[in-house]
Amino acid sequence: MRRTLKALVFFAGLLLAWEAVCLARIWSPVLVPSPVSVGRYLWEAANDGTLGSATVVTLRRLVLGYCFGLAIGLPLGLLTARFKVVGDTLGLLALGLQTLPSVCWVPLALLWFGQTEAAMFFVVVMGTIWSVIIATENGVKNVPPIYARAARTMGSSGLHTWLRVLLPAALPFIVGGMKQGWAFAWRSLMAAEIYVTILSGFGLGHLLHYGRELNAMEQVIGIMLVLLLIGLIADKVLFSPWERFLHRRWGTAK
Amino acid sequence: MTLQTEVQNEASSKLSVQHVSKTFRSRARVVHALDDVSLDVGEGEFVCLVGPSGCGKSTLLNIIAGLDLADGGRVLTDGAPVAAPGRDRMMMFQESALFPWLDVLSNVLFGLKLKPGLDAGERRKVAEFYLKLVGLEKFHRAFVHELSGGMKQRVALARALAPNPRALLMDEPFAALDALTREQLYGDLQRIWQERKKTIVFVTHNVREACCLGDRVVLFSPHPGRIREEFKIDLPRPRDINSVDLARYSTRITAALKNYARPESGAELVEVAE
């Protein structure tokens, strides 16, 4: 409770400082809108439904692509760790593509798929998949061999060892990779949404883009705040429970 | 199946190591870990393998467990050759090798779940039985990192005992523990061995420990790993590691060990990964 209070005081202080700067009229209100005007924009956008529908469109793209990327990346990561030939081929490819900033997929996706949902989906999947493969491979390769040996003496072998020993043992790495994949996917989706207009749905990135076109700074900042909030909530809701689980089991942190 | 029948003592097994050789080759060197080693272990016997590091004693244990394959010779358990790990021979390692993602009870259940013929309730009862045997009945829900080193090895012992193996293979299980904890575990292990009637092969480089636990102490020398001498320990149980009678044995064996461990002329001292 005290931690929440401290956080609240901190953010309230930030808002006050922001308001104070605006009241001091150092910069034009067109460039630095006051928190009140940003709040008003968000309120109106929420009421007329644009904010809600844009959030739904963006999150749907993100979640679909991310889940698909995970579903493909995890097994591929396991194969990469298991078979030397896959590691030397796909593993190397994944390592290379992981270093590629995921926004670089956008031009390719547009040429291949046009201005469609498929292009967005593709970009998010490409953002997710390589980090997940690399993290899973890394995680499995870092499992102490003694776990597998102990499991073998107890009658575990083959798929059982993979699912019941190597996969859980690699979990700290895998969760790290999932988090990184999420971050990459989120960034590349935003880049794509700002970059291209897709008629099947206007996401938060489009709102940001139009904010710039219309010189509506309160819209730009308002949407940025929403994006920040989504990132924060995703972290707390999606990853914090995993991390707490890991810390509790592995005893890695308080 | 009732708990009684499940935890009933299985007949302990007879192990026979026949002319086993094992060579490790790496790009840098060739190491003869075991050279024509033969050893018989009787039903319910407690045998300790002692020797300096590099003498192949852990390698031999791994071969008996079926985790490693011998280059030559064979290992028989009750007449049947060993080709793979089996539930009749459970292994304990120097590190507990407990799984951090499982709590204590689930760690003990891991091997039981792989054993056919038990339902969930029975498995649980069996696991609880062995956790009680090692004195950890209050720690079912604890996680591995919350346990002390001694407690971890107790859980590992319960986990190894739970599938009711006929032989227990122990690879320096107490080497990383402090002296006081170790002494407690010597007492516990002797009690459990007498209660559960397992054949035990116990690898250590601690001669006193070997004299305290073993019916027989088998001395290895390194490069190549060979059996040099055997000592029968005729002392009543339970034995106290600090007793004078025991010291008499350990002095003799230590002297022999030093004698064999002296590198032969020109013999290269190489460490074997154990």
pLDDT of B262 > 80? The answer is no
What pLDDT score does B263 carry?
58
pLDDT band at A254 (very low <50, low <70, confident <90, very high): low
Asked if the C-beta of B93 comes within 8 angstroms of chain A's C-beta atoms, the answer is yes
pLDDT band at B266 (very low <50, low <70, confident <90, very high): very low
Between A and B, how many CB-CB pairs are < 8 A? Answer: 64
Asked if the C-beta of A145 comes within 8 angstroms of chain B's C-beta atoms, the answer is no
- Residues in chain A with CB shorter than 8 Å from the CB of B86 are 155
Q: What is the enclosing helix (H) or strand (E) of A54?
A: helix A50-82
The minimal CB distance from B101 to the residues A151, A160, A168 is found for A168
Q: How would you label B216-252 residue by residue, b for 16+ Cβ within 10 Å and e otherwise?
A: bbbbbbbbbbbbeeebebebeeebebeeeebeebbee
Helix (H, G, I), strand (E, B) or coil at B141: coil
Chosen for mutation from B114, B123, B157 (greatest number of chain A CBs closer than 10 Å) is: B114
Asked if the C-beta of A112 comes within 8 angstroms of chain B's C-beta atoms, the answer is no
> Among A56-65, B14-23, B265-274, which stretch is predicted with the lowest mean pLDDT?
B265-274
B20 lies in a domain?
Answer: yes
A35 lies in a domain?
Answer: no
Q: How would you label A14-51 residue by residue, b for 16+ Cβ within 10 Å and e otherwise?
A: eeeebeeebeeeeeeeeeebbbebbeebbeebeeeebb
CA distances (Å), A58 to each of A219, A238, B213, in order?
Answer: 17, 17, 67
Tell me the angle at which helices A217-234 and A171-195 cross, rounded to the nearest 10 degrees.
160
> pLDDT by residue (tens digit) across B191-210?
988 888 889 999 998 999 99
Asked if the C-beta of A160 comes within 8 angstroms of chain B's C-beta atoms, the answer is yes
Range of the domain at A145: 56-250
User: Which ipTM value was assigned to this complex?
Assistant: 0.85
Could you tell me which chain A residue has the CA closest to the CA of B110? A154
Label residue A228 exposed, middle or buried (CB < 10 Å: 0-12, 13-18, 19+). exposed
pLDDT band at B11 (very low <50, low <70, confident <90, very high): low
Asked if the C-beta of B29 comes within 8 angstroms of chain A's C-beta atoms, the answer is no
Asked if the C-beta of A248 comes within 8 angstroms of chain B's C-beta atoms, the answer is yes
For chain B, helix (H) and strand (E) counts, in that order, are: 8, 10
Asked if the C-beta of B68 comes within 8 angstroms of chain A's C-beta atoms, the answer is no
pLDDT band at A71 (very low <50, low <70, confident <90, very high): very high
Helix (H, G, I), strand (E, B) or coil at A154: coil
pLDDT band at B265 (very low <50, low <70, confident <90, very high): very low
Could you tell me which chain B residue has the CA closest to the CA of A145? B97
The minimal CB distance from B110 to the residues A144, A154, A251 is found for A154
The minimal CB distance from B95 to the residues A146, A155, A248 is found for A146
B134 lies in a domain?
Answer: no
With an 8 Å Cβ cutoff, are A149 and B115 in contact? Answer: no
Asked if the C-beta of B123 comes within 8 angstroms of chain A's C-beta atoms, the answer is no
Average pLDDT, chain B: 86
Asked if the C-beta of B111 comes within 8 angstroms of chain A's C-beta atoms, the answer is yes
- Residues in chain B with CB shorter than 8 Å from the CB of A161 are none
A4 lies in a domain?
Answer: no
Nearest-5° Cα angle at A250, B159 to A78:
85
With an 8 Å Cβ cutoff, are B163 and A154 in contact? Answer: yes
B21 lies in a domain?
Answer: yes
| Residue B234, C-beta contacts closer than 8 angstroms, at least 6 positions apart | none
Name the minimum distance, in Å, from the CA of A80 to any CA of chain B. Answer: 23
* pLDDT above 70 coverage of chain A, percent: 99
Asked if the C-beta of A232 comes within 8 angstroms of chain B's C-beta atoms, the answer is no
pLDDT of B10 > 80? The answer is no
Pairing between strand B216-221 and B46-50? parallel
Nearest to A185 by CA among A75, A68, A51: A68
Asked if the C-beta of A169 comes within 8 angstroms of chain B's C-beta atoms, the answer is yes
B122 lies in a domain?
Answer: no
Q: How would you label B149-160 residue by residue, b for 16+ Cβ within 10 Å and e otherwise?
A: ebbbbbbbbbbb
Alpha helices in chain B (DSSP H): 3-7, 57-65, 104-113, 120-133, 149-161, 179-196, 207-213, 244-261
> pLDDT by residue (tens digit) across B216-256?
999 988 888 888 889 898 888 888 888 888 888 989 998 88
Asked if the C-beta of B116 comes within 8 angstroms of chain A's C-beta atoms, the answer is no
> pLDDT by residue (tens digit) across B108-160?
999 898 888 888 888 999 999 999 888 888 898 999 989 988 899 999 999 99
B117 lies in a domain?
Answer: no
A22 lies in a domain?
Answer: no
Q: Which of residues 125-144 of A touch B (CB under 8 A)?
A: 144
Range of the domain at B201: 3-99+168-261
What pLDDT score does B122 carry?
87
Q: What are residue B32's DSSP bridge partners?
A: B23
Name the minimum distance, in Å, from the CA of B97 to any CA of chain A. Answer: 6
Could you tell me which chain B residue has the CA closest to the CA of A151? B111
Question: Contact at 8 Å (CB) between A62 and A125?
Answer: no
What pLDDT score does A16 carry?
92
**Count of CB atoms situated within 10 Å of the CB of B183:** 17
Identify the CATH number of the domain in which residue B87 sits: 3.40.50.300
Distance in angstroms (rounded) separating the CA atoms of residues A157 and A146:
14
B105 lies in a domain?
Answer: no
Q: What's the structural domain count of chain B? A: 1
Distance in angstroms (rounded) separating the CA atoms of residues B128 and B108:
9
Identify the CATH number of the domain in which residue A170 sits: 1.10.3720.10
Q: What's the structural domain count of chain A? A: 1
Distance in angstroms (rounded) separating the CA atoms of residues A26 and B64:
81
- Residues in chain A with CB shorter than 8 Å from the CB of B163 are 154-155
Asked if the C-beta of A162 comes within 8 angstroms of chain B's C-beta atoms, the answer is no
The minimal CB distance from B114 to the residues A149, A154, A249 is found for A154
A1 lies in a domain?
Answer: no
Report which of residues B272 and A231 the model is more confident about. A231
